[in-house]
Every structure is written in structure tokens, then in C-alpha cells.
Amino acid sequence: MTPSSPSASTLAFVESPVQLLNVLEWAYARPGEQSQLDGVPRQRGRRADGGDLPGPAPRPAGAAPPLRIVVLPPTDPMSRGQLRRVAALARDEGHEVRWQEARGSRFAPLKALAALARDVRAARTVVVGDPFSRYVQLLLTLVRAEELVVVDDGTATMEFMAQTARGERLVRWHRVGGGGLPGRVRELAYAPVSATARRRFTPAAHRGHRVEVFSSMPVTAHGGMTLRVNDFAWTRARFGPPRLTKGTDLVGTSLVETGVVDPDRYLDAVRALTLEHGATRYFAHRRESPEKLRALSRATGLEIVRPDLPLELIARRGPVGRTIVSFPSTVVHTLPYALTGTGVTVAVCDVDPAWLTGSASPRARSFLAGVTDTARDVRRLPAQAAPTAG
């Protein structure tokens, strides 16, 4: 292995575009020995539309070698498309990217586990993007690494840090228990894997096991964890600054798709925000359904934009509105970093508890409020700006 080749000792697993972006940010920020070839410019990459991508971001002095990244893609086309485009950016930075299907058939997870087992056992540093992922937790049963790094998978990092601090099992904040007897049987069968994952996420100095969290979220390290702030330095070095438009852009959310917010109340809220702020574009979340987006377009006249990259990159590349309005979500924490110094105002609209569905988890109200309350450098919009139906 040459000094500039991907490090065989560091292995990253990602399952979404934003996880892959955050791995690129971590790789850019981490210390290490500088490559002997860092001064040699690489060829520019090509976008899907045939245009040039910006050249690789200049790496900081003392930057570590490139990574080996394994992409475990979901099945939905929007996520897969974004993942392929961010993977192209990763390759342009010199990282080795492997596309490993782990879903879509009954035996795909086991086949993927067998294919990855040797590399997982050999890695000295393992980077993961979703500590709640059952597949990632399964991989962690094979990990012998000295260091485990967790990068953001959106606001889930906030719940991950809170649950590990309390010694609880890892459960997504919007998940509601159910499934009857079969569900309980599955949980019992999976319990040993979950317990092993929790131990892996616990630092142990006597065993030389370190845990780092690399995050843009307002979290606090505990129990010997190391916390480093992700300020999107790679994104800012590679893209922008953006050209600003006069209008306001709205950012979509998957709160309806996850069963947290009522669809009709959400449509009413988007309509009210559009009228109040003169919004012209709606950046759809990759999980939003086409039916919901068509209904939004008909009701509001908004131009629906399906981003081909994570919003942090889209906004930094521009053009982007002078004001960006979002409901409580990841971007109210990440965009202020990515757009620092650009003059863009990020605003967050509270979610009225009356918008929540009857099946929303008991944690939904407090979690969403926490996402809003802890956002830095954003403008707060009351839920009254988006009145409930009736």
C-alpha cells in the first residue's frame, strides 16, 4: 500500500447519502500523516449531466490517507441515486468505495456479511453512520477495532447520545412498539446482537477501545467518548459560495412518511409558510412520496425540487434563497455550518403538538421540540405561522 492509497486499517460503512457526506467530512478533518502525493492535482470528476465537478478540496496539512468506504444501499431509487453521486465525489477525493447490496432478498444480508467479514475483522478503525441500523449492529459483532467512530445520521445522533448515556437499548425516537407476539419473538432473538452493539459503543480504556462521535448536533460526550464537531469544512472548501436568489426556499421533511405528522396538517402548514414567506421552491426529502409532493404542488404552487445530492451540498453549490425555512430536522443544525458567511438565514418552524398523529411515539413531541430548541444561528418561527386545520 502506497502512502496515498486507501488505508486498509480504516473501514467505513454508510447506508444513506448524508452518512456518506459526513464520512467525507470526517476523513477531511481527521489528523494523520500527510500523503506524499497531496500536492498533485487529481483530474476533475464529471457530474451526471456531463458538466465538471469542482476539483478535490485541498486537504489540510497532516491529513490522513484516504479511506475504504462500503456503501450498503437502501432499496428506494432516490436514496440510491444520491448515494451514487456522493460516491463519485468520494472517489474523486481518492477514497475507495465499494457498493455492497445487503437488502432486497431474503439472503442478501447474510451474503453481504460473509463478503465483508474479513475486512471488518482486520480494520483497526471502523466508522459507522447509523448506530440504530440492525445491519450495522450485526457487523459490529465482528469488529475487533481499537477505535469506533460514529458520524451523524441526522438528528438520530441526539437520541443515540441520550440513550447510551442512560444505558438504554438503542431504539429510534419515532419507533412505536408493536408486531404482536412475532415482533416480541424477533426482539428477543435479536437481543444478544443489540447488547453487543451497546458494548461496542462504550469506550473501554483497559481494553484500548476508543469511541469517537463526529457530529454537527448539539450533543455532549459522556463515559469516555471523544466528541469532535463537524463544521462541514470539506463542503465549504469544495463548493461555493453560492449565488443567492431573492426568494425563500422551503425544506421538506419525512415526518409524514414516518407516521409522526398528519398529512393534512402538514399540507396546511406548508401552504401557510408559502404565503407568509413568499416561498417559491420546496426541496423534497428523499423519502417523501410522489403523491404527497404532487398534492403540495397543487395546493401551494411551489416548484418541487428533488435534490440529486444532500441538501448541504445543494445549498452550498447554489443558487439558493436568502432564507431557508425548515421544520425540525437535521438541516437546522447542519446548514448554518455549511452556509456560514454566505448571508443565508436559516429559519425553523415549530411543530404544533396538534399536528401529531395518534400513532406517533410518546417521544415525538419532546424530541422535535429539542431539535428546534438546540439549533444554533437559526431564526425561530412559531407553529402559529402554520395554523392547524379546522
pLDDT at 359: 85
pLDDT at 219: 93
Q: Which three cell numbers stand for residue 365?
A: 413531541
pLDDT at 195: 83
Alpha-carbon gap, residue 269 to 38, rounded angstroms? 49
Per-10-residue mean pLDDT for the chain, 390 residues long? 58 96 96 40 39 59 78 92 97 95 84 91 94 89 93 88 88 59 64 82 86 95 94 96 95 92 95 94 94 95 96 96 95 96 95 90 84 89 54
Specify whether the CB–CB gap between 283 and 313 falls below 8 A: no
Specify whether the CB–CB gap between 126 and 145 falls below 8 A: yes
Residue 248: strand pairing partners? 279, 323
pLDDT at 303: 97
Residue with cell 477531511: 28
- Reported as a single tens digit per residue, the pLDDT across 24-62 is 999 999 876 333 223 333 333 444 344 445 567 666 655
pLDDT at 42: 36
- Residues across the chain: 390
Which class for 183: exposed (0-12), middle (13-18), buried (19 or more C-beta within 10 A)?
Answer: exposed
- Count the neighbouring beta carbons within 10 Å of the beta carbon of residue 97: 22
Specify whether the CB–CB gap between 74 and 103 falls below 8 A: yes
Residue with cell 447520545: 161
HEC profile for the chain?
CCCCCCCCCEEEEECCHHHHHHHHHHHHHCECCCCCCCCCCCCCCECCCCCECCCCCCCCCCECCCCEEEECCCCCHHHHHHHHHHHHHHHHCCCEEEECCCCCCCCHHHHHHHHHHHHHHHCCEEEECCCCCHHHHHHHCCCCCCEEEEECECEHHHHHHHHHHHCCCCCCCCCCCCCHHHHHHHHHHHHHHHHHHHHHCCCEHHHCEEEEEEECCCCCCCCCCEEEECCCHHHHHHCCCCCEEEEEEEECCCCCCCCCECHHHHHHHHHHHHHHHCEEEEECCCCCCHHHHHHHHHHHCCEEECCCCCHHHHHHHCCEEEEEEECCCCHHHHHHHHCCCCCCEEEEECCCHHHECCCCCCCHHHHHHHHHHCCCCCEEECHHHCCCCC
pLDDT at 192: 79
Q: How far is CA 326 from CA 8, 116, 150, 284, in A?
A: 40, 38, 25, 11
pLDDT at 1: 42
Q: How far is CA 18 from CA 49, 120, 260, 270, in A?
A: 21, 22, 21, 24
Alpha-carbon gap, residue 376 to 215, rounded angstroms? 14
Alpha-carbon gap, residue 128 to 373, rounded angstroms? 27
pLDDT at 180: 58
pLDDT at 47: 43
Could you tell me which residues come within 8 angstroms of residue 322 by beta carbon, excluding any fewer than 6 positions away?
A: 244, 245, 246, 247, 248, 343, 344, 345
